[in-house]
Copies of this chain bind each other. A is one copy, B any other.
Amino acid sequence: MKAELISIGDEILIGQVVNTNAAFLAEELNKLGIAVVRITTIADKAENIPAVLEEASTRAELVLTTGGLGPTSDDVTKYCLAEYFNSRVSLNPEVLERIKVFIHARGGIVNDKNAGQAMLPDNCEVLPNRSGTAQGMWFSKDNITYVALPGVPYEMKEIFQNELAPRLRRRFILPVIHHETVLTSGISESAMAKLIEEWEARLPSNISLAYLPSPGILRLRLSGTDNKPDRLLEEMRTELKKLEAVIGPYIFGYNEDRLEEITGNMLRKKGLTLSLAESCTGGKIGELITSVPGASDYFKGGIIAYSNEIKSDQLGVSPATIETYGAVSREVVHEMAAGALIRLKSDYSVAVTGVAGPAGGTDRKPVGTTWIAIAAGDKITSKVYHFGEHRGRNIQKAAITALFMLKKELEGNR
């Protein structure tokens, strides 16, 4: 089954709002085995809507609109839908009653704007809204299903989950689609493409691959279809195993995993604590680690040693070491990691020092040069990286790479 999404709203066309509704619906419909083939955003103007519905119905069996159902005068979708489906708009007493109960429960008074939300096209099936007054609507015409949902994200989501998804499951025979995303770090998109070229070329035709890069992380998404769920799962598992055999050392997780959560869980399970010594990342690693609820179970804290003075005073890095080797060096990152371990009394420590840019680069240590060390007990592992020219991305890559190195150390691999 194919679907098209139509987002109605001027706020998206002027970039004031990012279209998260479409992302939510696309993901949820995909999980149901409904492929979204197009997403269209148009202005909330009466003249646009019928043509877009007409076009969509030539390509999809399910046409889903969001937005344009609010109580204010600039929301015209409802009347356009009524006209498009040759319907009259009339008062739905049941809906009016629900709206009254909803507003009274919140201590409000029903005005004519709210009451107007009970004026609905005669020939639609109402999809009740439990968290607002704009109702969802289900229409059928020439074997095409049209659904209109409000644009307020939490209202739209609630109607989708409670009303629309169950109806779609009941009324249509939906195919099986399965997605698996492999999360990797430490390799560029083009190097990855080269590495998995052969495997990719031999993928069965019902399984497709997508590369999803972001700074420090490259996600590989496998999407498979088959009418037999078990066979598909088996087939995907086989392909995943082959892929893992090729790119194993770069993999840090799957699907919705986050590196900071994975490393955090490893620390918690082993009963270990962590501290940080951050120079060029300036607090970014701490921010990632503490974005995970419950991080206090294993995270003690850190020193943001931005100046050399703090590297020496707070981490015990010898001024002579800085003088001799420079602040961005193997020697300094080792002393930083050791200092954090001892002074912050943790089992593991992570230290980073680098040239984030745009200034500060030299011929021998250009912008992007970054030393990362992991210390545990009396063992320190360190490595130098050459990221890029962009300050923000260098910081992001350094933080992700440091967590990836920590994960490998916690696993006992290097």
Residues in chain A within 8 A of chain B (CB atoms): 7, 10-20, 22-30, 35-43, 70-74, 105-108, 111, 113-114, 131, 133, 152, 154, 179, 181, 188-191, 193-194, 200, 208-213, 221, 223, 276, 278, 280-287, 289-291, 293-296, 299-307, 309-310, 313-314, 343-345, 356-359, 368, 386, 388-393, 395
A278 to B23, CA, bound (A): 34
A20 to B73, CA, bound (A): 28
Residue of B nearest to A344 (CB): B310
3 nearest A-B residue pairs (beta carbon): A283-B286, A282-B290, A15-B27
What are 18 A-B residue pairs whose CB atoms fall within 8 Å in the complex?
Answer: A10-B210, A12-B23, A14-B36, A15-B23, A15-B36, A16-B221, A19-B19, A19-B22, A70-B211, A106-B388, A111-B191, A276-B283, A284-B286, A286-B287, A293-B357, A293-B359, A293-B391, A313-B343
Contact of A13 (CB < 8 Å), options: B36, B299, B359: B36
Are B213 and A152 interface neighbours, CB within 8 A?
Answer: yes
Least CB distance, A385 to chain B, in whole angstroms: 10
Contact of A16 (CB < 8 Å), options: B7, B108, B210, B368: B210
Are A22 and B41 interface neighbours, CB within 8 A?
Answer: yes
Chain B residues with CB under 8 A of A26: 12-15
Residue of B nearest to A276 (CB): B304
Are B306 and A301 interface neighbours, CB within 8 A?
Answer: yes
Copy count, this protein chain: 2
Residue of B nearest to A41 (CB): B39
Chain B residues with CB under 8 A of A284: 283, 286-287, 290
With A11-B221, A36-B14 given, is the CB distance from A304 to B302 under 8 Å? yes
Chain B residues with CB under 8 A of A36: 13-15
Are A301 and B300 interface neighbours, CB within 8 A?
Answer: no
Residue of B nearest to A302 (CB): B304
Are B188 and A108 interface neighbours, CB within 8 A?
Answer: yes
A46 to B40, CA, bound (A): 19
With A107-B386, A291-B395, A309-B300 given, is the CB distance from A38 to B27 under 8 Å? no
Chain B residues with CB under 8 A of A313: 343-345
Chain B residues with CB under 8 A of A15: 22-30, 36
Least CB distance, A352 to chain B, in whole angstroms: 12
Residue of B nearest to A16 (CB): B210
Least CB distance, A105 to chain B, in whole angstroms: 8
Contact of A303 (CB < 8 Å), options: B13, B191, B301: B301
Chain B residues with CB under 8 A of A72: 189-190, 193, 211
Are B343 and A314 interface neighbours, CB within 8 A?
Answer: yes
With A111-B190, A193-B113, A223-B14 given, is the CB distance from A314 to B293 under 8 Å? no
A223 to B74, CA, bound (A): 13
Are B290 and A283 interface neighbours, CB within 8 A?
Answer: yes
Could you list 12 further interchain pairs (A-B, Cβ under 8 angstroms) beyond the known A70-B189, A70-B211?
A13-B35, A13-B37, A106-B368, A111-B191, A114-B190, A131-B389, A280-B290, A283-B287, A286-B306, A290-B304, A304-B304, A314-B343
Most chain B C-beta atoms within 10 Å of own C-beta, residue among A281, A296, A368:
A296
A14 to B24, CA, bound (A): 9
A210 to B189, CA, bound (A): 39
Residue of B nearest to A117 (CB): B190
Least CB distance, A312 to chain B, in whole angstroms: 11
Are B74 and A211 interface neighbours, CB within 8 A?
Answer: yes
Chain B residues with CB under 8 A of A189: 70-72
Are A194 and B111 interface neighbours, CB within 8 A?
Answer: yes
Are A306 and B290 interface neighbours, CB within 8 A?
Answer: yes
